[in-house]
Amino acid sequence: MVLDSMSGSVIYSAIDLTDGFYQILMRESDIPLTAVSTPSGMLWEWLVIPQGPKNAPAMFNRMVSHVLRPLRDFAPSYIFVHSRAEGGLSAVDVHVRHLRQVFQVTREHKLYANLKKCVFCAPEIPVLGCYVSKNGVRADPEKISSICSWPTTTSPTELRRWLGLVNYLHKYTKDYAGLIQRLSSLMKKDATWL
Mean pLDDT computed over 59-70: 87
Specify if 177 maps to a domain: yes
Tell whether 162 and 94 lie within a shared domain.
no
pLDDT > 70 in the chain, percent: 95
Q: Is the pLDDT of residue 105 over 80?
A: yes
What confidence tier does 52 reach under pLDDT thresholds 50, 70, 90? confident
Tell whether 54 and 149 lie within a shared domain.
no
What confidence tier does 89 reach under pLDDT thresholds 50, 70, 90? confident
User: 26 is in which domain, residue-wise?
Assistant: 2-124
What is the per-residue pLDDT across 147-157, written as a single tens digit (0 to 9) for each? 889 888 888 88
Position 2 scores a pLDDT of 62
Mean pLDDT computed over 129-139: 85
Q: Is the pLDDT of residue 4 over 70?
A: no
Q: Fill in the DSSP letter of residue 98.
A: H
Total domains, the chain: 2
Of the candidate ranges 7-11, 68-72, 95-99, 158-162, the one whose mean pLDDT is the lowest: 7-11
Specify if 10 maps to a domain: yes
Tell whether 95 and 145 lie within a shared domain.
no
Tell whether 85 and 145 lie within a shared domain.
no
Three-class secondary structure of residue 177 per DSSP: helix
Question: Rounded CA gap, 191 and 188, in Å?
Answer: 5
What confidence tier does 102 reach under pLDDT thresholds 50, 70, 90? very high
pTM higher than 0.75, yes or no? no
116 and 106 in contact (C-beta within 8 Å)? no
Q: Where among 97, 124, 151 does a domain terminate?
A: 124
Give the Cβ contact number of residue 157 at 10 Å: 10
105 and 71 in contact (C-beta within 8 Å)? yes
